[in-house]
A and B are shown apart, each in its own frame.
Chain A
Amino acid sequence: MPELKYDPYNLIITGVGGQGNVMSSRIIGNMMSLKGFFVTIGETFGASQRGGSVMSHVRISTKETVSPQIPKGKAHMIVSLEPSETIRVLMDYGNPAVQVITNTRPTHPIGVISGQAEYPSDQNIEEWINEISSKAWFFDATEMAVKIGHPIFSNIIMAGALAATNELPLDREIFETIMNTKFNPDKAKSNLEAYDQGVASIV
């Protein structure tokens, strides 16, 4: 088993209910588990799935199963499917060393839709995330996903992007194996395409 940069490595995957957050964390978790790591995933779903914020804590260790909740301020990497959610998670779990990969496509909360609240500008979001992280990647994963065929693929694009950062020993072969056991060839192919586009988004 390769060594980890941190043990346990604390990854948070966040987004809005319905964006495929859970699937993304499970796939990454499975990829690491198949490599022999101890993986613990803590998830918030249920009521929060109806348009609310969702978050998965994926913790990877060479030694043991750990708490399914990451302690505050202790995230190493935040992968986010929605930009304002990135900021929400940074407030609780961020620290000066944290890294961030974020989809730039906003999903407006109903407070914004109904005009009670304002959504921050793209520019502000980028500035702020850069300010409170050590490194951050931004790209419109939704747009890429729609081109592949469905906005849901953005969750796999993010997984590919995470792999490309080389923060964790995630490799494409294992991803392919998982896809082939989980999905029919058509779906698997689209997912692989999404994964590869995610990889290509990290420069």
Chain B
Amino acid sequence: MSIFTEEQNGTRHLLMGNEAIVRGAIEAGLDVAAGYPGTPSSEIIETLAKYAEKNNHYVEWSVNEKVALEVAAAGSFSGLRSLAVMKQPGLNVASDFLLHLSASGTRGPMVLLCADDPGALSSINEGETRFYARLMEIPLIEPGNFQEAKDMMKWAFELSEEIRNIVLVRTVTRLSHASGNVTLGERKESVGKAFFKNDGFILDPMEGSVMSAPVAYKHGEQQVKLKRCAEIFEKSPFNVYEGPVNPELLIITSSICDLYSKEAVSLLNAEKRVGILKLGTTFPLPPKLIEQYLAKADKILIVEEVLPFLEESIKVLAAELAPTIGAKQFFGKANGDIPMVNELNPDIVVTALSSILGIEYKEVDEEYKKRASEICFFGSPARETTFCPGCPHRASFFSINKNISMDNRSGFTCGDIGCYSMGMLPGGFSTLKTLHAMGSGTGLASGFGKMTKFGMEQPVVSVCGDSTFFHSAMPPLVNAIHNNSNLTMIVLDNSGTAMTGFQPHPGLEVDATGSEAPKIDIPSVCKGMGVNVEVCDPFDLAKTQETLFKFLESDGVNVLVLKQICALSPEKKGKKMFNMSIDDSVCLGGECGCNKMCTRVLSCPGLIWDRETEKSTINDVICIGCGVCASVCPSGAIKKEEA
């Protein structure tokens, strides 16, 4: 009995935003879906994949986002309904294909769903999807709540069918990863039959070749489609106004900020003074609709997350409309009422509103706040994110850091994206010295390795996860080899895409749906590139360090694959490799010259430093028995016993 396989029209459920999105796509009659994992979007492909067989969908985890978009586009070109899913940085990766796709147009309905992460709750950027709509000249729609997440997703396919171009749907973490009530709708039949027509008249959008040339012609066609969108958007039910007929202040907002705005208005009891125009269609804007509401108020507050996308478009419209609607006073990012970094919340909107409307607002009694802050200072020690107990990355970074220090030539490690990005933090011994986009660690290392020409003698190391290896680290590795660079690339192979929830990748024997699939062996790939490769178990600190020393001191490109399964992987979860214990008679405690190598340095959450006995103890609730601490204790006080 699953809402992802059955009709259940009219029933009401508590769904996560991403689940609502999935249901929307299913109701639209989806055929093909492809994506690459990325928080907060991953559950979409995951859920679709789980039910793919029952629903007769084709669902894949692609090697990266550009390929995902291409695979989905092939579905569309074959006349099917297709969906590509990614987080915002993935859109950057896919953007080159998107530029050409948006000009060539689509056939079967095609939707691109991008999840942004304002506030970087699970990212190292707060990149914006919305500006791509403008740049690529494609329609953008943004659901504002859970019901809309489903409904607008379904509608996106209809819109794409109508204009024959890709439709961009943007969600954000606070919608995708939040849950709310959704009433289900009717399921459309899938298309189910694929055929790529290609022998018609070359300019025929449905039967000719699919391409972005002749450029001026295709570009023109694309802009006609966009104009059509603006017309459709004028009547969209997803653009909603709530409030008095003539509000003192008009809030224009979109996405999850609608709920923040509503909450803020209600906290101030300002329902009679403020109206909210929530836009579901944010590019191209429907000019008549906007004009209608702009005309009603003199003061306009624009509430949106991160950059002033709506704000700027609306101001341009307002300037054009000034002769008819008069001059308006705008509040938002430009005047500083709404910040241009970080996510929003009801409190930020309340603060802006209370200053504009002159209403005083106190979140809580001052005395209480003061006391609670004092208590928190002592009562709530900072909780830094760190590697899980038993994480292979902790052991890997321990070795990397130790070797680079001992090597004593100011060597450094270029980081990459994954759980192992935490190698930047003290819990990862602050080993990583650069951190950018997926694959960039090895790209940077390839460059650093050539700086020898200018006297740089520092050994260069890059790390990269197994999923990242396939996603985008192979080209920079090829680059390094071909250009005779000097670096040690360390592939931290934990048999999955851990950070985003352990999705499979081409290095594994399963695909997205759990079926058997050919696996691509990383060491063989590297060998094929003609480079020296060795594989070690990072839990074997001695062997790992010996190999790494060798690589640090040799010229050219060397690849060290550190292979050990993620502690959270379904395979390992709950199973201890070793039963760990501490021999109290051997542990020298606080007096030991090691100065708490186990707890202070290795700082695995599975260990506790007992302040009373001044000795180390194992936290049995947390320890998963990887055994690494036993290799780290110089006194041999930590014992491991095969579990």
Contacts and interface: CB of A to CB of B under 8 A. Distances in A.
Question: Do A and B share a direct contact in the complex (Cβ within 8 angstroms)?
Answer: yes
A48 interface: yes
Contact of A39 (B180, B350, B385, B427): B180
B386 interface: yes
A95 B14 CA distance: 29
Contact of B368 (A53, A66, A132): A132
A69 B345 contact: yes
A109 B426 CA distance: 12
Given A72-B364, A90-B375, A113-B608, A67 B179 contact: no
Interface in A46-75: 46-48, 50-53, 65-74
A109 B383 CA distance: 5
B183 to A, nearest CB: 11
Given A95-B368, A107-B622, A84 B381 contact: yes
A29 interface: yes
Interface stretch (B257-265, B474-482, B512-520): B257-265
B607 interface: yes
A96 B347 contact: no
23 contacts: A29-B179, A33-B181, A38-B181, A39-B179, A42-B174, A43-B179, A47-B39, A47-B121, A47-B499, A66-B259, A68-B259, A71-B267, A73-B369, A84-B381, A84-B383, A91-B373, A91-B375, A105-B621, A108-B619, A110-B605, A112-B381, A114-B599, A118-B381
A18 interface: yes
Interface string B151-168: 000000000000000000
A31 B345 CA distance: 26
A20 interface: no
Sort A-B residue pairs by CB-CB distance and give the 5 closest, nearest first.
Answer: A46-B122, A73-B364, A68-B178, A73-B363, A91-B376
Contacts of A105: 621
Interface stretch (A119-127, A160-168, A188-196): A119-127
A71 B350 contact: yes
Given A51-B387, A113-B604, 9 more contacts: A46-B40, A47-B39, A47-B121, A52-B384, A67-B346, A110-B386, A111-B383, A124-B378, A132-B375
B122 to A, nearest CB: 3
Contacts of B175: 68
B347 A71 contact: yes
Contact of A65 (B146, B368, B384, B605): B146
Given A46-B40, A71-B263, A132-B371, A88 B380 contact: yes
A109 B381 contact: yes
Which of B13, B174, B379, B387 has the most chain A CB atoms closer than 10 A to its own CB? B379
A25 B621 CA distance: 22
A61 B145 CA distance: 15
Nearest to A17: B385
B219 interface: no
Contacts of B267: 71
Nearest to B595: A115
Interface in A172-186: 181
A69 B180 contact: no
A67 B349 CA distance: 12
A65 B267 CA distance: 15
A72 B384 CA distance: 22
A40 B178 contact: yes
Contacts of B388: 18, 50-51
Contacts of A119: 381
Nearest to A64: B262
B565 to A, nearest CB: 16
A69 B348 CA distance: 12
A80 B384 CA distance: 18
Given A42-B174, A53-B383, A84-B381, A110 B603 contact: yes
Contact of A96 (B1, B368, B382, B619): B368
A26 interface: yes
Contact of B180 (A40, A108, A109, A115): A40
Contacts of B601: 114
Contacts of B426: 110, 114
A117 interface: yes
A62 to B, nearest CB: 12
A84 B378 CA distance: 9
B122 A43 contact: no
Contacts of A48: 121-122, 385
Given A73-B369, A90-B372, A114-B599, A66 B608 contact: no
Interface in B419-449: 419, 422, 426-427
B467 interface: no
Contacts, number: 198
B102 to A, nearest CB: 30
A41 B20 CA distance: 14
A94 B381 contact: no
Contacts of B360: none
A39 B364 contact: no
Nearest to A150: B574
Contacts of B638: none
A72 to B, nearest CB: 5
Interface in A117-162: 117-120, 124-125, 128, 131-132, 142, 146, 151
Contacts of B427: 110
B122 A40 contact: no
Given A73-B363, A95-B364, A108 B260 contact: no
Given A41-B179, A108-B605, A90 B383 contact: no
Interface in B596-619: 596, 599-601, 603-605, 607-609, 619
Nearest to B264: A71
B178 A33 contact: no
Which of A91, A114, A132 has the most chain B CB atoms closer than 10 A to its own CB? A114
A68 B179 CA distance: 8
Given A41-B179, A48-B385, A65 B259 contact: yes
A201 interface: no
Given A50-B386, A51-B386, A71-B363, A30 B14 contact: yes
Contacts of B642: none
Contact of B621 (A26, A142, A181): A142
B363 to A, nearest CB: 4
A16 interface: yes
B385 to A, nearest CB: 4
A65 B145 contact: yes
Nearest to A132: B372
Given A91-B373, A114-B599, A26 B365 contact: no
B116 to A, nearest CB: 13
Contacts of A43: 177-179
B373 A16 contact: no
A42 B607 CA distance: 32
Nearest to A40: B180
Which of A33, A69, A95, A124 has the most chain B CB atoms closer than 10 A to its own CB? A69
Contacts of B382: 109, 111, 117
B488 interface: no
B64 interface: no
Contact of A51 (B181, B380, B383): B383
A68 B262 CA distance: 12
B250 interface: no
